[in-house]
Structure 1
Amino acid sequence: MLLFTFGLWGQEFVGFETRFAVFAKEMLRLGVSIFPRTYGEPYPDYPATSTLLIWLGSLPFGEVNKFTAVLPTAIASALNLALTYRLLSHVSRQWAFIGVCFSLLTATFLAEARSISLDQMLATVTLACFVVVYRDGHQGGGSARRTAWILALLLVGFSLRGPMGIVIPVGVVCSYYALTNQWRAVFKVGLPALALLIACWFALLALARIEGGESFVNDVIRMQVSGRLSGNDDALPRYYYLVNSLANFALSFPVALLVTVSVLTTSRPYLPFPWLRKASTAAWDPALRMAALMAAWLLLILIGLSIPETKKARYLLPAVPAMAALAAYVFIDQGNRLLLVTYQLLQKLLLVLPTLLIALVLFAQHYARKHQLSVDINAGLLLSLLASAQLVSLLALRQTQTPARRDQIIVAVAALAFWLTNVTLREPAELQLHSARPFVEAVETLRRDKPAPLVLYGISKDSLAIVYHVNVAGDFRPQFVNQGEPLAALHYPLYLLISDRGRRALASPSSGDERAEWPTPAYRGYFRDGDYSVYYLEQPPH
């Protein structure tokens, strides 16, 4: 929890999380609703459960800030690590400890753990479902009790993420039963889960009809199902996750792929599928069995999510526990050449990771100076901490102790160095480069001094308008004008927020000097992705 919430209190909302911050602010201002709201209207892409959790955390403080907004995700992420440890400790405490460290060494997991992330919550629900069926298979228990636990978790998943909240966990659970040759259990869990999915979906549509009428129901269907499955102009290739995740989910994912190849080859004699199995009476080794289950988990999500046209890196978060477990597997088993070479290379990489991160910090400083980027970070403190971490790793290598203990120290120090770099370099740089608060505060000051409506030209409700909205206190109801619509039809006076590119497109082609067509901007600055100007207009520009 400390790792995932440290230093968040005063941070600005940036990126994808701005949308959920707006949802929570609107709920705190207007009250609880079935769907989150923006501009006073229901938003169709998500149920309001995650917004409700943020609202509950914000009530004691009377405001939504970065800490209260991230708290539900941080709790889910901490539970994710705890469940990962408990699951792998059934086989090896060494594996469990290093597996947790590899979760922290996974770039997207760490970034999402310190942000508002519904997919991170879904990852914890998926892991909890797997833990339930795994413990049931080893400790025994009633089938009805197991199914009840799974259905309860699936209900939580749907309330957080819609249909994906059931489909992904059920797929992982069924992969476990299929790989352990429990085909009856596939149907005993799969059929009730399908019934739950249908019931939840029609209940959601009924609530949507109450909330916003038939048109809103169509929006919910499009946003949560048909829009994700159907093709579009921006459809990504099927191999998107396989290639994109090499960087986004490093260090775990690349290593996990290598280990998956080794594990599936080694475990082939024990697999339940006749076309994969060879005659063998060898015992199913517990560690190899767990690794095969993790490989099936990873491959199922990797292949399953590659089918829909809509693809986002964060959708792969439910596979992180499996990635981390597979990456850590090389530290407990070097039974073949591939695993041995992977272990040797990975251990050396983690040993020198603090030094590599020092080089990254120096490169970031050089890049910022070269491109005249205004990024202020405490580089001296970070470099000192990384140098200290490198020293600890080297001392662990030299001191007399067991190989297992040495590996634990090296991996733990690498995870700590990775977290330090994320918190003191990546986050501050991202916040400063994408900061919109100074721009919004300057414009809102103008509007307070000389009140007038705000018109956003060429800005959609779900993009920069949300970034503006999250930095405004109270009600925010701007007017939206699409490109090509006449400005003369608006009621004046008003404030017009427009990009420099959009202003040039609106300039009269007959004018030799486009500056003559517009008054001096009331304010001009960098707003999220480019230069924008705000004009106070008492009449339409000519």
Structure 2
Amino acid sequence: MGVLPGMTPSRHTRDHRRAPADPTDAMDPTDATLKPCQALAWMILILLAYTWAVPFRDIYGLEARIALMAREMMENGLALFPRAMGRPYPDYPPLYFWLEVLFSRLIGHVNTLSVVLPSALSATLLVALTFILGREINRRTGWLAALILATSPDFWQKAGSAAIDMLLALTITAALACLYFRARDNRRQIRSLYSAGVLIFPALAFLTKGPIGIVLPAAAWGAFLLWEKRTGDLFRFALFISVFGAMCVAGEMAVAWETGGMDFVHDVMKMQVLGRVGQKAGKPFYYYLACLPAAAGPWFLWSIPQAGRFFARVFKSPGVATLRASMPSHPVMRLSTTWFLSVLIIFSLAGSKHARYILPLFPALAVILAAGVTRAMGREIPARHRVLEPLLMVIIGGLLVSGVIFTAFFRPYQASPVEIACTVLWLCAVCSGWLAIRNRTAGKFRVVALTALMLATGLSAFDFFARPIVSKRASGRAFVKTSESQVGPDVPVAIFGLGRDRDGVKYALYSHRRGKDIRFISRIENIKELPVPCLLITYEKHLSRIRAVAGLKNLRVLTRGAIRSRKTVSCLIAGQG
């Protein structure tokens, strides 16, 4: 395969094949070479950490819509645009839903695990790619970057959820990694493989979330080329990515026109591009800056001393020379910086803002934080270790004791033998991790390892003890099952008051009826036109109005329950007045 634009080996990248090892690496337990079987074992362990508690909870929140689209693909066959309740959905291309269908077919049906697996696998591969990129600086930075990313609170929670943005983050990271390694490797066959990756992964990113899958890697790599002063490569890359992106958009618009005509083309453009850019911002421009400390958790604290030293140098000797001397010298650090800033700026300027959108910058942030942690460890005061180590151990011990007490006394339902066994395994896994840290890490690195163990313990405890309870209250599964068990399978279902894209989706997901067969009523007067008998689903607050306005005689309440903690009722309409 020929040389792609923007990918010729540069003087900057050729001179940084691998940074020299830190003289303190001899004390570092991460200095050992990672064998392929060991790498596979670590990836399986990370995947299990993200998914072991998933089967104990329900599908809830935004996952319900994603799962419903996968269920409809299971029923009607794969489609280039996913459908919800029989209607094509313009927000998302199909890749994540295809993966859901694949895992659902392997399992036998759509369930929580099959819906979450694409996200969890993407997160596991992201940790591996982050290790590979960080290792270009040195082995310690690679290990720390992977550790920071894997245990960052927001990343962990999204890995255990059905998060389309996690798959987007993986494809974007893979595209940038291929661009970087293609530019630094002179072996023809290897460069051809990376060139193929430069074509494949942006295409997969586009199939995951549309044009933003092309824009983000293009902006990150373009800014990197500009920083490297490779203007010729930048021009060629800009031309290449523009043509490539235009071809992807044209193909999607052609499929949209075949799916639903010109109106659906407009809907796709609105939902994937114009609506997210042009709509009025509901959150301030600094929203994502406020999200970052919460997303990274304690790892963000390690960057504070480094930031303090940087600003101290700038204020002490202001000028271009000081800024230039403070800039990262390694090309991976420069790429991580442009990657982080590009994604942050693009999403900060967009009108639609959600914390999950910035998942594509997490690998870059992990590499940057890992470099900061490495420097901080080199300057750490031994006395501080003597304070932090016992504090972290007390927190870990407190989490273990809390988990046992909750299982024994406070769980709102009786724990099954499987749940009790999983609680014991969780205790054993945490204790094994603590013993490994105690026996295999020096005091200098023990605080970092204990921080990661504390985060993993707390996050896994939330996944196993708290999240199942939250999901069961929010999903409405019990309400749907109880409601439909009281009527025959041929009785039609109508929904009034529950939004089609909100709680209506949750009902449709757990209903035995096909999504397209559920009727949504927008006006109370239209309830009179429903066939008899009919199962009517509505919020309890609407019940008195329905009886007064619709004038129904034999309206019998079957079940009272909740969807997303909102009081909901199911009623059987057996006659009209």
| TM-score normalised by the chain length of structure 2 | 0.78
Gaps of 5+ in 2: 1-46
Aligned-residue CA RMSD in angstroms?
4.1
Counterpart of 1:499 (choices 539, 544, 553) is 539
Q: 1:35 aligns with which of 54, 78, 81?
A: 81
2:143 is the alignment partner of 1:127? no
2:297 to 237, 246, 250: 250
Instruction: Report the CA distance between 1:403 and its aligned residue.
Output: 4.2
Q: Deviations over 1:348-371 (max 9, x none)?
A: 875554246459769989xx97xx
* CA deviation vs aligned residue, 1:308-361 (integer Å, no higher than 9, x gap): 111111101111112222333333213998999999998787555424645976
Separation in structure 2 between the aligned mates of residue 341 and residue 151 of structure 1, nearest angstrom = 52
1:487 aligns with 2:523: no
Of 426, 430, 438, the residue aligned with 2:478 is 438
Once residues 334 and 465 of structure 2 are traced to their aligned partners in structure 1, the CA distance between those partners, rounded to angstroms, is: 37
Aligned mates of 2:398, 2:240 — CA distance in 1: 50
> How big is the shift at 1:282?
10
**Secondary structure of residue in 1 paired with 2:564:** coil
8 Å contact kept, 1:126–1:172: no
CA contact (8 A) 1:103 1:320 kept: yes
Cα distance 1:301–1:350, how it changes in 2: closer, same or farther (>3 A)?
farther
2:347 aligned to which of 273, 296, 305: 305
1:236–1:27 distance in 2 versus 1, CA, 3 Å: same
- Structure 2 distance, partners of 1:263, 1:193, is 39
Inter-partner Cα distance in structure 2 for 1:404 and 1:136: 36
The correspondence of residues 209-288 of structure 1 with structure 2, limited to 5 A, is 209-232=257-280, 235-252=282-299, 254-255=300-301, 258=304, 261=307, 276-278=320-322, 285-286=329-330
Is 1:323 aligned to residue 371 of structure 2? no
Q: Which residue of the partner structure matches residue 239 of structure 2?
A: 191
Q: Give the drift of 1:157.
A: 0.4
Note the 1:167-186 alignment, pairs <5 A.
Answer: 167-186=215-234
Structure with larger RCO (C-alpha < 8 A, sep 6+): 2
- What is aligned with 2:12? none
Distance in 2 separating the partners of 1:337 and 1:469: 57
CA gap of 1:342–1:401, structure 2 versus 1, over 3 A, is closer
Q: Please tell me the residue identity of whatever aligns with 1:318.
A: P
CA distance in structure 2 between the partners assigned to 1:483 and 1:491 by the alignment: 16
Paired residue for 2:51?
A: 5
Aligned length: 523
Counterpart Cα distance in 1 of 2:305 and 2:176: 20
In 1: Cα distance, 2:457 partner to 2:323 partner: 47
Residue 295 (1) aligns with residue 295 (2): no
When structure 1 is superposed on structure 2, of 480-489 and 452-461 the one drifting more is: 480-489
The letter of the residue matching 1:184 is G
Aligned to 2:39: none
Code of the residue aligned with 1:498 in structure 2: it is: T
1:533 matched to 2:569: yes
Asked if the contact 1:375–1:429 (Cα under 8 Å) also holds between the matched residues in 2, the reply is no
Aligned AA (2:450): I
Cα gap change, 1:336/1:197 in structure 2, threshold over 3 Å: closer, same or farther?
same
For residue 457 of structure 1, report the CA deviation from its aligned partner: 0.5
* Structure 2 CA distance for aligned equivalents of residues 279 and 500 of structure 1: 62
> How far is the alpha carbon of 1:6 from its aligned partner?
2.2
Task: Say which SS state the counterpart of residue 256 (structure 2) adopts.
Answer: helix
Q: 1:118-164, CA deviations, whole angstroms, 9 ceiling, x for partnerless residues?
A: 11011111221222233234434678875553232111100111111
| Alpha-carbon distance between aligned partners in 2 of 1:148 and 1:345, rounded to the nearest angstrom | 51
Aligned to 1:457: 496
Contact 2:66–2:162 (Cα < 8 Å) also in 1: yes
Partner of 1:158: 206
Question: How has the CA–CA distance of structure 1 residues 216 and 391 changed in structure 2, closer, same or farther, with 3 Å as cutoff?
Answer: closer
Other-structure match for 1:271: none
The corresponding residue for 2:17 is none
The answer to whether the aligner puts 1:471 opposite 2:510 as a matched pair is yes
Deviation at 1:23? 1.3
3-state SS of 2:297 partner? coil
Residues 478 and 56 from structure 1, CA distance in 2 versus in 1: closer, same or farther, beyond 3 angstroms?
Answer: same
Pair 1:60–1:105, CA change in 2 (3 A): closer
For 2:292 and 2:326, how far apart are their aligned partners in 1? 35
Residues 118, 139 of structure 1: alpha-carbon distance in 2 compared, 3 angstrom cutoff: same
Matched, 1:82 2:118: no
Match of 1:57 among 103, 123, 130: 103
Could you list the per-position Cα deviations for residues 426-452 of structure 1 after superposition, in whole angstroms to 9, with x for gaps in the alignment? 432322332322111112212327x42
Report the alpha carbon displacement of residue 531 of structure 1 after superposing the two structures with TM. 1.0
- Would you say 1:95 and 2:134 are equivalent positions? no
Following TM superposition, by how much is the alpha carbon of 1:36 offset from its aligned partner in structure 2, in angstroms? 0.9
Please tell me the residue identity of whatever aligns with 1:458: G
Kindly state the Cα deviation for residue 96 of structure 1 after the two structures are TM-superposed.
1.7
Counterpart amino acid of residue 520 in structure 2: F
> Partner amino acid for 1:68?
S
Structure 1's 121 and 337: CA in aligned 2 closer, same or farther, altered over 3 A?
same
Instruction: Letter of the 2:164 partner, please give it.
Output: L
Structure 2 residue matching 1:34: 3-state secondary structure? coil
Higher helix share: 2
The 3 A distance-change label for structure 1 pair 504 and 350 is farther
Instruction: Determine if contact 1:104/1:415 at 8 Å carries over to the other structure.
Output: no
Secondary structure of the corresponding residue to residue 524 of structure 1: strand
Q: Deviations over 1:203-253 (max 9, x none)?
A: 111101101122211211121112111224x7111111112343244244x
Deviates more, 1:384-393 or 1:174-183: 384-393
Relative distance call for 1:110 and 1:531 in structure 2 (3 A) is same
1:427 aligns with 2:467: yes
Q: In structure 2, the residue corresponding to 1:12 is in which secondary structure?
A: coil
Between the aligned partners of 1:259 and 1:131, the Cα distance in structure 2 is 29
User: Match of 2:497, as an amino acid?
Assistant: G
What residue in structure 1 maps to residue 9 of structure 2? Answer: none
Deviation of 1:293 after TM superposition, in Å, equals 3.8
Instruction: Name the CA shift for 1:227/1:357 in 2 (closer, same or farther; >3 Å).
Output: farther
